[in-house]
Amino acid sequence: MDFNDIQSAWKNENTENVSLPTHLDKIKSANTPLEIIKNNLKKEFLYQIISIVIIGFVPFIFEVPANAIMPFYLLFSIFVAVCIYYLVKLYIFYRRLGRITLSTKDSLYETYFDIRLNMELYKTFGFALIPFLILFLLGFMYYQIPDFFAKGLNSTPFLVTTFSIVIFSILFMGLALEWWVHFFYGKYAKEIRKVIDELREE
């Protein structure tokens, strides 16, 4: 068979059943929500730093008595240490996302579960701050409403108020965290999950 016969046979070959890998386009479509998550992480880091600085100036904003400044900053230093631990993890996660290239199903799966894992880590971070919120509120009440504590720590008003503050802090932080994580990360993670489900159906 000469070259002309080979070329003729090649042209006559049926190519109707040849299909291109369309799943690559679907994988690339997950890049948009991933970019939004990365941008939100960058903003999140900035928000957290600003919040920590503002909390550090609370004694001067609310004119806290001199004898309360030392206990405040002792508690604040522990608060900052906890924040730094989680912020470092947040930064490492951000850097990891920056190196990801969504080119295969496996990379898409890994990225999705990494995002979900860090969403749960973020919620843990929020719940770790609840004791500080409770102590800050009790301390604020102690110095702003000193008569309230005059009856002693075992008095009914004090116990009821403390119980109420604990319940309020847990409920507020829980609801706030669920909304915050969903708004900034969860809905975009769902978009990536949708792409994964579409690829699974192929």
Q: Does 33 reside within a domain?
A: yes
The pair phi, psi for residue 100, each rounded to 5°, is: -80, 135
Which structural domain, as residue segments, surrounds residue 40? 20-201
Note down pLDDT in tens along the chain; length 202 residues. Answer: 454 554 454 445 444 444 434 565 656 666 678 888 888 889 988 999 999 999 999 888 877 778 888 988 999 999 999 999 999 998 998 888 888 766 667 777 888 888 899 999 999 999 999 999 888 888 877 777 767 666 666 777 778 888 888 898 899 989 999 999 999 898 888 888 887 777 776 5
Judge whether 172 lies within some domain.
yes
**Domain tally, the chain:** 1
**Model pTM score:** 0.74
Token pair for 173: 């932080």
Is 28 contained in some domain? yes
- Residue 13 within a domain: no
CA distance 34 to 19: 28
CA 95 and chain centroid, separation: 14
Give the position of tokens 């898409």. 108
For residue 136, is it within any domain?
yes
pLDDT score at 29 = 60
Task: Record the tokens describing residue 66, joined without a space.
Answer: 């001199």
Q: Does 11 reside within a domain?
A: no
Contact 189, 150 (CB under 8 A): no
Local structure of 16: helix, strand or coil: coil
